[in-house]
Amino acid sequence: MASSASRFALAIACAAAIVAAPAAQKIQINGAGATFPYPIYSKWFSEYNKLHADIQINYQSIGSGGGIRQIQAQTVFFGATDGPMTPEQLLASPGRILHFPMVLGAVVPVYNIPNVRAELKFTGAVLADIFLGKITMWNDPAIAKLNAGVTLPGTAITVAHRADGSGTTYIWADYLSKVSPEWKSRVGINTSVNWPTGVGGRGNEGVAGLVSQTPGSIGYVELIYALQNKISYGPVQNMDGEFAKASVESVTAAAASAASHMPADFRVSITNAPGKGVYPISSFTWLLLYENPKNKTQSKAMVDFVKWALTDGQKYCAELGYAPLPEAVVKLELAALAKIKTS
């Protein structure tokens, strides 16, 4: 009896030792947030891990709202968001949080209309009305007027939006508020809004899934999700009146004017930016870091990673549909990184 009990205890101790031991060598950093940049972040963390095998950066794409919440609760080391934190949220945080733009991306209107292969053109006003629930059929005159050569079916429009708190929603709502006063007053801008109509999916992935599986639907996703899943997306009219399709060039054009007047905290909106060839629904996406985090080892590792991502990492952007940051912005950021305490 006694020997079996002690043998049992020994076995438990061994198991515990095996489980606890490996944690010593690797530096594991946990982050969470936006689904918008998830493809490029996941590529970066994987590539960086190949260069530095002892640094594992675990990122979970739970939505920008989640990234903000979890970093405020300090259950993750860094957050990621496409909707910059509001002054109230910054004040409510236990320490000073800094924003670092990492890439530029575009939010595109994706749609799935049976038998329609052509590209549909949209204006901000039409998109706002669709998402407000005022335009309910695909063959509505407002849509038909923009797309003269296309036969639009008499099917109902199913709006797909985010069910979770999303920076992509923030960017979309930010744009719609600029082009539709009704949207601005009725719905507003936030990572989670009171949608007048539609079905909710989780993450960019969820909305892309909804649209690709639901005939007659329209949604909004980050460009790469439309490309990787081969869902149709259309050009949107910009401030200059041209219909611009989202691409590395049109998104870079949108950031051009912002680059010269970048605020010190990097929190700026570039939706509906003026200029030629600009894609109007473009945005920066930010990494959120505490200025003075408790774990200095993780802090040093993270700062090194951000430096790599802002320089070498930018070369992975184009193939995934993101636009690299303007040089001027990168310079400002590298300087700002010095503020973060790493020791």
Partner 1 sequence: MPRSKPRSELAFRLGTGAFGVILVGIVAAIGIVLARQSMPSIQKFGLNFWQTETWDPVVGEFGALPFIWGTLYSSALALLIATPIALGIAVFISELCPTALRQPLVFLTELLAAIPSIVYGLWGIFVLVPAVRALESATPEWLRRWPLFSGPPLGLGMLAAALVLAVMVVPFISSVSREVLKSVPVAQREGAYALGATRFEAIRAALFYARTGIVGAIMLGFGRALGETMAVTMVIGNNPRISTSLFAPQYTMAAVIANEFTEAADELYLAALVEIGLVLFVITLIVNSLSRLLIWSMNRTARAVVTPEPVKVAA
Partner 2 sequence: MTATVRRKVLSWVFVAFCAGSVLLALVPLGFVLFFVVSRGIQSVNLAFFTHMPLPVGEAGGGMANAIVGTLIVSGLAAAMAVPIGVLSGVYMAEYSGTGFAASVRFAADTLNGVPSIVIGLFAYVVAVLPFRQFSALAGGFALGVMMIPIIARTTEELLLLVPGTMREGALALGATRARAVFSVVVPAALPGIITGVVLALARIAGETAPLLFTAFNNRFFSTSLRQPISTLTVQVFTYATGPYEDWHRQAWAGALVLVSIVLVCSMLARVATRRLERMHAR
**Does residue 165 interact with partner 2 by CB under 8 A?**
no
User: Which of 44-52, 212-220, 251-259, 293-301 is the region at the interface with partner 1 (rule: CB under 8 A)?
Assistant: 212-220
Nearest distance from residue 340's CB to partner 1, in Å? 23
- What tokens were used for 285? 């996406």
In this complex, which beta carbon is closest to partner 2, that of residue 41 or of residue 122? 41
**Does residue 58 interact with partner 2 by CB under 8 A?**
yes
In this complex, which beta carbon is closest to partner 2, that of residue 55 or of residue 278? 55
- What tokens were used for 151? 């036969």
**Does residue 163 interact with partner 1 by CB under 8 A?**
yes
Nearest distance from residue 206's CB to partner 2, in Å? 5
Query: How many positions of this chain bind partner 1 (CB under 8 A)?
Result: 38
Contact by Cβ (8 Å): 31, 77: yes
Per DSSP, the residues of 206-217 read: HHHHHHHHSTTE
Rounded Cα–Cα distance for residues 14 and 7 (Å): 11
Rounded Cα–Cα distance for residues 159 and 192 (Å): 16
**Does residue 292 interact with partner 2 by CB under 8 A?**
no
Helix (H, G, I), strand (E, B) or coil at 182: helix
Return the one option of partner 2, partner 1, none that residue 119 interacts with (CB less than 5 to 8 A, by type): none
Cα-based angle 107, 336, 308 (whole degrees, multiple of 5)? 65
**Does residue 158 interact with partner 1 by CB under 8 A?**
yes
* Residue 96: burial class (beta carbons within 10 Å; 0-12, 13-18, 19+): exposed
Rounded Cα–Cα distance for residues 177 and 131 (Å): 12
**Does residue 246 interact with partner 2 by CB under 8 A?**
no
Nearest distance from residue 124's CB to partner 1, in Å? 20
Residues found near partner 1 in the complex (CB under 8 A): 32, 62-70, 72, 88-89, 92, 155-156, 158, 163-165, 187-195, 198-202, 210, 213-214, 216
